[in-house]
């Protein structure tokens, strides 16, 4: 039985649910889920939790994510990416300086309030925003607080006088729930020109990056690769303080009992037989169960 995280480099045109469906079919395992939906047009890191690792999905969602992409200054769409319907066009008459773009990007660093795109999976009154958009129904989009840790220009922008557009590339690190499309759209507003996201690739998520990723096609062609490439559950907790349990402590932990530990950490990964078996959290003088992973073999 596989237990761990398979890092898939999702191809363009597939939904995250498609990836899960094909892996269930290929690996003959029902207990599979993804952490962090990617739009069909977006490629890159999609962590897939398998077996006991499905218990980590909520925790995986909380981790920051990294992206690389490109944007175009000169027009905007209803979806904030090039698959949408063009709403406004404004020719860029002369090159916008890289320094001006960088200055605009830096204004988004920190905790910001963001409005999600109308074509997004955010729910309002039980329905996705994209459902309202497709039905032509106007609805107030809920603002949300997100954290942008980095928003950098990568390379020199490319100005196209004939098209009246300027293309730029970027790298972003952000918290869960951040819409990169909105960051590109909002950058355009900051610069006084419409903007649209033209390409996006997620380079890191849930503590994993493209170096650990494999394509879905490779796994389908050779299912045995999943066992070779799966990241152990323990890899997700590599930054947690680790405590190796004695046999007597392990007997208590197996039954979900509180234990005393010689550490001041708030949360600790408890190991037995060289595997993380539980995450315990400090509660007064003792540590109590936060997440149990007893079947992590």
Examine the pLDDT at 137 and tell me if it is beyond 80: no
149 sits in the region (left: phi over 0; alpha: psi -120 to 50; else beta) called alpha
Examine the pLDDT at 18 and tell me if it is beyond 90: yes
CA distances from 95 to 73, 155, 168 (A): 10, 15, 11
Query: Do 175 and 80 belong together in one domain?
Result: yes
Query: Do 143 and 219 belong together in one domain?
Result: no
Residues 171 and 155: their CA atoms lie apart, in Å, by 10
Domain assignment of residue 223, yes or no: yes
Query: Do 268 and 280 belong together in one domain?
Result: yes
Domain count, the chain: 3
Query: Do 72 and 159 belong together in one domain?
Result: yes
CATH of the domain at 58: 3.30.2350.10
Q: Tell me the average pLDDT of the chain.
A: 92
User: Which residue has 């559950």 as its token pair?
Assistant: 233
Query: Do 161 and 275 belong together in one domain?
Result: no
Domain with 226, as residue range(s), is 4-63+206-235
Claim: this prediction has a pTM higher than 0.85: yes
Residues 33 and 76: their CA atoms lie apart, in Å, by 34
Q: Is-catalytic flag, 264?
A: no
Nearest to 183 by CA among 89, 130, 281, 113: 113
- Among 235, 252, 275, give the residue marking a domain's end: 235
Q: Exactly one of 9, 39, 81, 186 is catalytic; which is it?
A: 39
Q: Give residue-wise pLDDT tens across range 230-265.
A: 999 999 999 999 999 999 999 999 999 999 998 889
Query: Do 257 and 211 belong together in one domain?
Result: no
If pLDDT is split at 50, 70 and 90, which confidence band does 140 have?
confident
């Amino acid at each position: 039985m596989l237990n761990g995280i398979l890092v898939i480099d999702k191809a363009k045109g597939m939904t995250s649910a498609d990836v899960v469906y094909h892996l269930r079919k290929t690996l003959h395992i029902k207990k599979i889920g993804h952490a962090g939906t990617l739009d069909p047009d977006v490629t890159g890191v999609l962590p897939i939790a398998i077996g006991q690792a499905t218990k980590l999905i909520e925790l995986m969602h909380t981790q920051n994510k990294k992206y690389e992409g490109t944007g175009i200054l000169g027009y905007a769409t209803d979806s904030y990416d090039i698959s949408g319907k063009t709403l406004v066009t404004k020719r860029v008459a002369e090159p916008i300086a890289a320094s001006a773009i960088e200055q605009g990007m830096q204004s988004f660093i920190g905790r910001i309030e963001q409005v999600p795109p109308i074509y997004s999976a955010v729910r309002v009154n039980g329905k996705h925003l994209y459902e309202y958009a497709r039905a032509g129904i106007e609805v107030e989009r809920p603002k949300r607080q997100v954290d942008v840790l980095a928003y950098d220009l990568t390379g020199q922008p490319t100005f196209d006088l004939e098209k009246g557009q300027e293309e730029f590339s970027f790298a972003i690190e952000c918290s869960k729930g951040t819409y990169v499309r909105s960051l590109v759209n909002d950058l355009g507003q900051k610069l006084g020109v419409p903007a649209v996201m033209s390409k996006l690739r997620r380079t890191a998520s849930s503590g994993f990056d493209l170096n650990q990723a494999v394509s879905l096609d490779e796994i389908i062609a050779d299912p045995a690769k999943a066992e070779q490439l799966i990241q152990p559950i323990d890899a997700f907790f590599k930054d947690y303080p680790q405590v190796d349990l004695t046999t007597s402590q392990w007997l208590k932990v197996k039954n979900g009992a509180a234990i005393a530990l010689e550490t001041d950490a708030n949360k600790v990964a408890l190991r037995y037989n060289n595997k993380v078996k539980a995450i315990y959290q400090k509660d007064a003088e003792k540590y109590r169960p936060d997440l149990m992973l007893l079947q992590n073999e």
